[in-house]
Structure 1
């Protein structure tokens, strides 16, 4: 049982959001500022509003409620899904989802939402745009290669693709420069500390600083690892079930992918990461599992360095991240 006077579950979509209150039942509002204002008017003092992290849709409402003094929690959709499955619910509608989210908030100690600063909000938008451009750039490079394989590519097609690639490179560079400019305003020291870790580049360091709010959102390295989704899950039961260990994948996919890419370089140049990689491979485990462990190690190193305020030292970091 939570401490709030009333708990509201919110299921939000493109045009509307459904609300289920623990005391007042179901209602629906338009997913715009007018709808937000009407919803706020229905909320009693000491209310808790719980919603799922649904990309773009939940963000505006969560920010609006937070800025209007309402206690908000944004929870992982997979956690709610498992909660619904545990209850053996057979009906799935927007109303039933809102009710399930409300019950989830009543039954669990949910994390409280902290609004993003203007700098954080812009950085996350920039990262999303950069991802889009990077995908387009890869597709353009593949198309160029395909045309070259033909042997006699059309000059017009080839030049058009070259112009497109040049433009995308320029846009990606501009985004990277803007990100660096924004983060340097408040977190220049942390950027310097994080990039002192062998294996972590400026892009990963930037993203780490932004999503962790300068590592202030987490008290322990294990919390950060869980958030990113690189904690191992074990599939064993009795003597018959012996599934392969794998990462949980409940977390921030973007950062997880960045760290996995960093792990390749860290295996060569980062003493602690190299040791853990060689130890796991020597035990006959897969190289992929060893790289996941390296990514986990890198994240723990980043947390230790950010919290200590000291640059990378292979002996000092090994002590802080042991285990």
Structure 2
């Protein structure tokens, strides 16, 4: 006999967010009440909420709003809901899609209804959205702008560098000369932007302290440290290193079934690839410049015959473990830790080899 789930909320409101409009489906438990289409701006959103309160006798505490993460397009809606202290679920689009099973067709109205159904189906396991501080949103936006500038710089500079081996030197020099002002401007803009980003987080006491702790780990630079802080919401949303490793695509998963299927253990392709790439760069740096990491890599690869990428993945996890140990213990990484050297209290040492 199966046990029925509890009904903590009475109204489940699924919202499909687009640039100009919001498609909204309201369900009372399993029953679809109505579909609405409103403009994606604060005035229409606030008017809509006032209307449904009267029409459906809806209250904010007994309702839950759900939507897919669509970047800045969600900002107006989240701002209005945050002011009302509403219950909000903001999930990755792939997570919602995979939880619905097989679906046919796609319209904005159907997506809104499916999101509302997703809220009903997972009502006992939903994780409510935890708003980030405005400074984190600003840093996230600035980091994305830096990534775009770096991408443009690579798109322009890489072909110029590669063509030198295949065309005559005079033609190559001409191309480089014609693009030199643009490349220099991009380089200057990236430098100024990085200085501005650093000034922003240095002016915040909490962020400055976290950056100091994270960058104390060998191999971790300020760009990676800032992305870790943004992704974990200052370690409020993700406080467990294993969960963060899963989020970054570092945690390996077993792939077996019965007695015949015995595939290699692999990491998942569903991950934050940007963070995974940054952590891989940190692991490469640590492998080259940190003696104990270099010795670990050689021991595992040459001594035990492990695949090099498997060892690199283990190094990525070591770095994650050290970062979270520093933050959880609220002290910088100590290369050669001795028990009690910080103080005589019964503190656990940071992760070591």
TM tier, smaller: 0.7 to 0.9
2: CA distance between counterparts of 1:185 and 1:129?
A: 20
Q: Tell me if 1:294 matches 2:315.
A: yes
Aligned mates of 1:27, 1:245 — CA distance in 2: 46
Compute the displacement of 1:274 (Å): 4.7
Deviations 1:292-312 (A, max 9, x none): 222222112111101211111
Aligned to 1:25: 34
Of the candidates 185, 195, 198, which is equivalent to residue 203 of structure 2? 185
Q: More helix per residue: 1 or 2? A: 1
* Preserved CA contact (<8 Å) 1:9 1:102: yes
Secondary structure in 2 matching 1:173: helix
- Secondary structure in 2 aligned to 1:193? helix
Are the equivalent residues in 1 in contact too, given 2:66–2:119 (CA < 8 A)? yes
Gaps of 5+ in 2: 1-5, 339-347
* Residues 236-274 of structure 1: per-residue CA shift (max 9 Å, x gap): 212332333322243433222211211111223446755
Deviates more, 1:172-181 or 1:283-292: 283-292
Matches within 5 A, 1:144-163: 144-149=160-165, 150=167, 151-153=169-171, 157-163=175-181
* Structure 1 contact 273–297 (Cα < 8 Å) conserved: no
Q: How big is the shift at 1:283? A: 4.6
| Contact 1:18/1:95 (<8 A) preserved | yes
Q: 1:237 to 1:283 in 2, by over 3 A?
A: farther
CA distance in 2, matches of 1:35, 1:279: 63
Deviation per residue, 1:161-196 (Å, 9 max, x gap): 221111111111112111111111222222122111
How many equivalent residue pairs?
Answer: 321
Alignment of 1:1-323 (within 5 A): 1-23=6-28, 24-41=33-50, 42-43=52-53, 44-45=58-59, 46=61, 47-85=63-101, 88-108=102-122, 109-149=125-165, 150=167, 151-153=169-171, 157-186=175-204, 187-270=207-290, 273-274=293-294, 277-278=297-298, 280-281=300-301, 282-314=303-335, 320-321=350-351
CA distance in 2, matches of 1:182, 1:275: 38
User: What displacement does 1:316 show?
Assistant: 5.2
**Structure 2 SS opposite 1:22:** strand
TM-score (norm 2): 0.81
- The residue that corresponds to 2:3 in the other structure is none
| C-alpha distance in structure 2 between counterparts of 1:275 and 1:64, whole Å | 54
8 Å CA contact 1:9, 1:100 repeated in 2: yes
Deviation at 1:199, TM superposition (A): 1.1
Distance 1:277 1:62, change over 3 A: farther
Task: Give the Cα–Cα distance (whole angstroms) in 2 for the partners of residues 276 and 201 of structure 1.
Answer: 21
Normalising by the residue count of structure 1, what TM-score does the alignment of the two structures yield?
0.88
Q: What is the CA-CA distance between 1:123 and the residue it aligns to?
A: 0.7
- Report the RMSD for the aligned CA atoms in angstroms: 2.7
Q: Indicate if the aligned counterparts of 2:232 and 2:239 stay in contact, CA closer than 8 A.
A: no
How big is the shift at 1:16?
Answer: 1.7
Larger of the two Rg values belongs to structure: 2
Distance 1:180 1:58 in 2: 27
Over 6 Å off, 4+ runs = none
CA deviation after TM superposition for structure 1 residue 134, in Å: 0.9
d(CA) in 2 for partners of 1:106, 1:304: 37
